[in-house]
């Protein structure tokens, strides 16, 4: 078979799981709206957003990128200004890289995402983590930030809100107060917040907030948003000396096509959906109780306040020790029941999200676990 023929097989690819009940944390907040799905074709060509660009992506008037970036995003993020990025991690890196110097210390919560650590490495700064409380809640005490800032002179404080494993929400307003008292800028990493739940950085006294289009804003990716206080414009969005219209930190331009078109097309729906967050939290808590009734243990904060959750599931692990497929039996059993999103092979602890599924569908998920426990008893 030639390589060309191998590649041609790609044209026949399908995603058979697309319409199943989806509980995969990464995917539940990024399922496209119908409006965004139409944009996939309309703006699929490279540089398609740039028909009327006069040098700056964020100034394009048609489609209305300028209005989106200068009016709609700041209002949504509770920031003075906003810009577009390739994703949450890119926003985190831009902020670290422009606000700190190599060798500086950045204080961060102990539940930070790996990409924050990698961004810090790339920028040559040291992370000083505020430890979590350990098993079973893994909470980060906001007062730990005050202690960390007393111990070390820090250039930046990063709070993951919520963290991507347990879905814990640290008291961000308290962390903002501490940052303000110590005069250290605060970055909120809202990869799992912006687009799911109401979150406005000025309510927390934060200097920056990042969100992820392809994680929580019903957008194709990579795409992301970054909001900040006006005073940081000259630092994070500083311009090139050689090309006066271009910003340095993003190398002059970011999401130039279909990813931005889908982000904008889904935005009205996203703005509306965050107003139903209390229903999402109620659904998550109901699901958590139903899972605990099956004998599983929810880790992280209880009562839980986010759709991202981890359960300890020793009974499912025990089964994996007895069956031919080992850990893979669980993913196969769930798939055959129309449920998508468990990591193949994983049985000891399951990470999942209740965001996209209805209560009825989550009932089916609980029933599936119950049926599997009975089948292998
Ligand atoms: C998923 C995730 C990221 C990375 O988001 P991208 O938009 O893909 O860069 C960063 N931080 C947290 C907490 C996440 O959960």
Over residues 232-286, the pLDDT tens digits come to: 999 999 999 999 999 999 999 999 999 999 999 999 999 999 999 999 999 999 9
Mean pLDDT of the chain: 97
Binned at pLDDT 50, 70 and 90, residue 188 comes out as very high
pTM of the model: 0.96
Determine which residue's CA is closest to atom 1 belonging to ligand 1: 191
CA dist 1 → 4, 5, 6, 8, 11 (Å)? 8, 6, 7, 11, 16
Residue among 169, 191, 209 to mutate when testing ligand 1 (max atoms within 8 A of CB) = 191
**41 by DSSP, 3-state: which?**
helix
In degrees, to the nearest 5, what angle opens at C-alpha 200 toward C-alphas 194 and 206? 105
pLDDT at 43 over 60: yes
Atom of ligand 1 nearest to the CA of 87: 7
Domains annotated for the chain, with CATH where assigned, are 4-28+307-375 (3.90.1150.10), 34-273 (3.40.640.10)
Residue among 87, 120, 166, 210 to mutate when testing ligand 1 (max atoms within 8 A of CB) = 87
Ligand 1 centroid to Cα of residue 263, in Å, is: 16
* Backbone conformation region of residue 326, classed left if phi is above 0, alpha if psi is from -120 to 50, else beta: left
Read off the tokens for 63.
């489609």
In degrees, to the nearest 5, what angle opens at C-alpha 167 toward C-alphas 113 and 209? 60
**Cβ(77)–Cβ(201) below 8 Å:** yes
| CA neighbours closer than 13 Å in the CB half-sphere of residue 39 | 23
Chain Cα centroid distance, residue 369: 27
Determine which residue's CA is closest to atom 5 belonging to ligand 1: 88
Spatial separation of the C-alpha atoms in residues 229 and 198, rounded to whole Å? 18
Q: Look-up: residue for tokens 């992820």?
A: 212
Ligand 1 centroid to Cα of residue 327, in Å, is: 27
| pLDDT the model gives residue 16 | 83
Read off the tokens for 323.
């069956």
Radius of gyration of the chain (CA): 22
**54 by DSSP, 3-state: which?**
coil
Spatial separation of the C-alpha atoms in residues 120 and 129, rounded to whole Å? 12
Binned at pLDDT 50, 70 and 90, residue 5 comes out as confident
Spatial separation of the C-alpha atoms in residues 126 and 150, rounded to whole Å? 16
What are the counts of helices (DSSP H) followed by strands (DSSP E) for the chain? 15, 12
Ligand 1 centroid to Cα of residue 267, in Å, is: 19
Q: Is the peptide bond before 271 cis (omega within 30 degrees of 0)?
A: no
Over residues 298-326, the pLDDT tens digits come to: 999 999 999 999 999 999 999 999 999 99
Query: Strands (DSSP E) along the chain, which ranges?
Result: 21-22, 81-85, 105-109, 126-130, 156-160, 186-189, 208-212, 224-228, 297-298, 308-312, 339-340, 349-353
* Backbone conformation region of residue 55, classed left if phi is above 0, alpha if psi is from -120 to 50, else beta: left
Determine which residue's CA is closest to atom 15 belonging to ligand 1: 164
Ligand 1 centroid to Cα of residue 335, in Å, is: 26
Spatial separation of the C-alpha atoms in residues 174 and 192, rounded to whole Å? 20
pLDDT at 1 over 80: no
Q: What is the mean pLDDT of residues 97-103?
A: 98
Determine which residue's CA is closest to atom 2 belonging to ligand 1: 191
């Amino acid at each position: 078979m030639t390589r060309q023929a191998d590649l041609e097989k790609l044209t026949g690819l399908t995603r058979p799981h697309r319409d199943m009940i989806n509980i995969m944390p990464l995917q539940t907040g990024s399922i496209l709206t119908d409006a965004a799905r139409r944009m996939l074709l309309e703006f699929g060509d490279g540089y398609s957003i740039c028909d009327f660009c006069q040098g700056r992506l964020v100034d394009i008037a048609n489609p209305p990128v300028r209005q989106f970036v200068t009016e709609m995003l700041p209002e949504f993020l509770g920031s003075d200004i906003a810009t577009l990025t390739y994703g949450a991690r890119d926003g985190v890196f831009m902020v670290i890289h422009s606000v700190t110097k190599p060798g500086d210390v950045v204080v961060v919560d102990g539940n930070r995402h790996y990409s924050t650590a990698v961004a810090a490495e790339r920028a040559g700064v040291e992370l000083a983590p505020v430890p979590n409380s350990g098993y079973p809640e893994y909470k980060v005490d906001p007062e730990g930030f005050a202690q960390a800032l007393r111990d070390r002179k820090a250039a930046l404080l990063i709070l993951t809100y919520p963290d991507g494993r347990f879905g814990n929400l640290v008291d961000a307003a308290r962390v903002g107060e501490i940052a303000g008292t110590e005069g250290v800028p605060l970055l909120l990493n809202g990869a799992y917040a912006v687009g799911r739940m109401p979150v406005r950085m000025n309510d927390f006294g934060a200097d920056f907030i990042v969100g992820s289009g392809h994680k929580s804003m019903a957008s194709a990716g990579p795409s992301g948003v970054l909001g900040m206080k006006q005073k940081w414009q000259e630092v994070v969005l500083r311009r090139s000396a050689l090309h006066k219209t271009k910003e340095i930190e993003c190398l002059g331009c970011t999401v130039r096509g279909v990813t931005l078109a889908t982000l904008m097309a889904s935005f009205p729906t996203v703005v509306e959906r965050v107003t139903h967050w209390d229903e999402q939290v109620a659904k998550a808590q109901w699901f958590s109780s139903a899972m605990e009734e099956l004998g599983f243990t929810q880790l992280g904060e209880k009562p839980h306040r986010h759709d991202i959750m981890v359960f300890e599931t020793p009974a499912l692990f025990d089964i994996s020790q007895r069956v031919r497929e080992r850990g893979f039996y669980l993913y196969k059993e769930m798939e055959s029941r129309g449920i998508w999103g468990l990591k193949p092979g994983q049985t000891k602890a399951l990470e999942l999200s209740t965001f996209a599924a209805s209560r009825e569908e989550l009932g089916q998920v609980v029933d599936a676990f119950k049926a599997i426990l009975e089948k292998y008893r």
